[in-house]
Amino acid sequence: MSTSRRFCESIRSLFDPESVAVVGATENPEKPGYLLLRNLIDLGYRGKIYPVNRGRETVLGLKCYPRVNEIPGEVETAVIIVPAKEVPKIMEDCGDKKVRSVIICSSGFGEAGGDGAKLEKMILEIASRHGIRIVGPNTTGILNTYNGFTSSFVKLSKPVRGPVSIIAQTGMFASAMLEHILTTQPYGLSKVAGLGNKVDVEDSDILEYLEGDPDTRVVAIYAEGIRDGRRFIEVSRRVSPKKPIIILKSARTRSGGRAAETHTGSLMVRDEIFDAACRAAGIIRAGDIEELLDYTKAFAMSPPPRGDRVGVIAYTGAGCVMSADAIEDYGLRLAELSEETMETLRTYTPPFGVLSNPLDAELIRMKVGNAEESMKLSLEAFMRDPNVNMVSLVMVGLRRGSKIWEVDFRRVFSKIGMDHPEKPLVATIMASREVTEEFNEEMARLGVPTYPSLHRNIRALSALARYHLKYGTSNNLQT
């Protein structure tokens, strides 16, 4: 088998193994080995599962084995979740069994320094000798929503399948942060790779695999350090025209660099150098977790814009002004409405009303008598306008119990989306918590991204526009 073929097979085995050994599996519900095995069963993984524990005959109804090399069937991947000092011996057993890849969840390696760093070198030498690829150590590892495979030892909600894959250096992306994404974000996930200390498998390896993954259309990355920067940029330059890559790179400062070194053993690189490399490779950079998730949502849920001209519909004069400022700040342009659009809007505007973009939709609400009709008329006019490439909708003050403000969001937005699938639309609402939550949930069902502020609306549209102006719109991300 060629080197490239072996590489592809080893990385594939991390996401789609036909069999997995769980070393450290236990019946104790307080221990990570129990939760890991429980996740595999509950998420519906259909491959063969071999619990490994010297002290048990069975675990969760599955026959248990004392060592990996005593399992009778083929073992493609092993997940190790035992104390660090026991890992080298288990790695030798995996080598004897010809295991292709190993996910080491255990901590106490390079991030701990001293003896931990020596252990890390030892397991890497063993892996190299046997041709085994390692994810970790010090990680919750892998999730594949399309086959139910995971190495996470944190109880997970049933994941929704979707177009987003995540590569992360910290284990929290396959644990606490993953749970946050699964329960708060409207897009589904495809793959998650928590790489931990990156003793072997790194960002570039996973990115190359995701390049050919039909279930991944958007890649989000959290990194504290990039070991082989040159290769990462080369791979990203090849992948980014096909699939947007959004990265949050921490350890930008001296203090952050010291924190990362104790967390995952990462070393920092000068931030201005990394920033320039990202621009050259077409990588979209986020400044914090909030921005990373905002951009990911926009790319996962929106069609490619055909330009950078934004139309703003706001139920507040201040919202119009602040949106205009944000559009200029983020390098976008206010769309100049066509004469046909202006004529349409004049029909529904009081004589004293001044029409422009941004549009104060309060004027139309005053004429037609309720928010739902004014919203429908305004959106249809802006979405039809050939001069408008993207639309930001800003609503304020919707509340229950008022005929003026009661809105059936599905009735307004479902037809808009069907009639204009080529035009990105984002929305924000400032209202009671009850109405805000209902609105966000309904928009998620209708495929419209929502953000907590008009500033974040425009920032997300700016990321979309920059990417598609650079690479064109032929690679439609929405299917």
> In three state form, how does the secondary structure of 122-147 look?
HHHHHHHHHCCEEECCCCCCEEECCC
**pTM of the predicted model, to two decimals?**
0.90
Q: For the sheet with 218-223, list strands across it.
A: 149-150, 142-144, 189-194, 161-168, 218-223, 245-249, 284-286
Looking only at Cα atoms, what is the longest distance across the chain? 85
pLDDT at 251 over 60: no
What is the tally of helices (H) and strands (E) in the chain?
A: 17, 19
pLDDT at 411: 87
Q: Please give the class, per CATH, of domain 3-298.
A: alpha beta
pLDDT at 174: 56
Residue spans of the domains in the chain: they are 3-298, 303-471
Cis link prior to 163 (omega < 30° from 0)? no
Q: Specify the 3-state DSSP secondary structure of 336.
A: coil
pLDDT at 69: 97
pLDDT at 254 over 90: no
Render pLDDT for 84-118 as a digit per residue (tens, 0 to 9): 999 999 999 999 999 999 999 999 998 888 899 99
Average of per-residue pLDDT values in the chain: 89
pLDDT at 269: 56
pLDDT at 359 over 70: yes
pLDDT at 255: 47
Asked if 341 and 382 count as a contact pair (C-beta separation under 8 A), the reply is yes
Same CATH fold, 303-471 and 3-298?
yes
Residue 75 corresponds to which tokens in the numbers above? 């073992």
pLDDT-derived band at 431, boundaries 50, 70, 90: confident
pLDDT-derived band at 266, boundaries 50, 70, 90: very low
pLDDT at 475 over 60: no
pLDDT at 414 over 90: no
Per the DSSP assignment, residues forming a β-bridge with 243 are: none
Per the DSSP assignment, residues forming a β-bridge with 336 are: none
| CATH hierarchy code of domain 303-471 | 3.40.50.261
pLDDT at 474 over 60: no
What percentage of the chain reaches a pLDDT higher than 90? 70
pLDDT-derived band at 297, boundaries 50, 70, 90: very high
Q: Return the DSSP state at 457.
A: H
pLDDT at 479: 37
Cis link prior to 137 (omega < 30° from 0)? yes
Q: How far is CA 445 from CA 107, 292, 393, 437, 439, in A?
A: 40, 22, 17, 12, 10
For the residues 67-71, what does the mean pLDDT come to?
Answer: 98
pLDDT at 25: 97
Measured distance CA(469)–CA(461) in Å, rounded: 12
Q: Given the DSSP bridges, would you call strands 284-286 and 245-249 parallel, antiparallel or unpaired?
A: parallel
pLDDT-derived band at 434, boundaries 50, 70, 90: confident
pLDDT-derived band at 404, boundaries 50, 70, 90: low
Measured distance CA(254)–CA(267) in Å, rounded: 10
For the residues 40-57, what does the mean pLDDT come to?
Answer: 96
For the residues 207-223, what does the mean pLDDT come to?
Answer: 96
Give just the sign of the alpha carbon dihedral 364, 368, 371, 377: negative
Residue 419 corresponds to which tokens in the numbers above? 């009639």
pLDDT at 291: 96
Of 217, 107, 226, nearest in space to 165 by CA: 217
Measured distance CA(303)–CA(305) in Å, rounded: 6
For the residues 405-412, what does the mean pLDDT come to?
Answer: 81
Q: Specify the 3-state DSSP secondary structure of 115.
A: helix
Residue 52 corresponds to which tokens in the numbers above? 């490994």
pLDDT at 306 over 50: yes
pLDDT at 36: 96
